[in-house]
């Protein structure tokens, strides 16, 4: 498993934030595609958690700003989990 330097991680996150894909981001910072994909997955998970927390706190607009740049299937799964958590379903989602 490749571990990137903090500088490269920051650069990758900035590229993902701008909507750059895994292949292009990996090429730009000089890392393996698999490594870039792993870091993108972690970035998506962290962004979804931020969006969930904002939604839970009642800030739908900030949540929308975050989720606009994320894959639809992941956003839908997080929103479904939030809805289930709001309804009191057990067990709680991984986002709760």
pTM: 0.87
Domain that holds residue 31: 6-86
Within a domain: 29: yes
Q: String of b and e for 30-56 (b: at least 16 CB within 10 Å)?
A: ebeeebbeebbeebbeebbeebbbbbe
Query: How far apart are the C-alpha atoms of 61 and 8, rounded to whole Å?
Result: 30
Total tally of structural domains belonging to the chain: 1
Query: How far apart are the C-alpha atoms of 56 and 81, rounded to whole Å?
Result: 11
Over residues 9-20, mean pLDDT: 95
| CA proximity to 48, closest of 72, 25, 23, 19 | 72
pLDDT digits (tens, 9 = 90+) for 42-68: 999 999 999 999 998 999 999 999 999
Within a domain: 78: yes
Within a domain: 1: no
pLDDT given at position 1: 60
């Amino acid at each position: 498993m490749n571990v990137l330097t903090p500088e490269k991680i920051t650069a990758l996150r900035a590229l993902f934030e701008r909507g750059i894909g895994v292949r292009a981001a990996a090429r730009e910072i000089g890392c393996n595609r698999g490594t870039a994909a792993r870091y993108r997955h972690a970035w998506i998970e962290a962004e979804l958690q931020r969006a969930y927390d904002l939604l839970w706190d009642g800030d739908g607009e900030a949540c929308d700003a975050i989720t606009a740049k994320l894959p639809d299937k992941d956003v839908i799964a997080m929103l479904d989990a939030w809805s289930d958590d709001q309804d009191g379903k057990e067990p709680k989602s991984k986002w709760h």
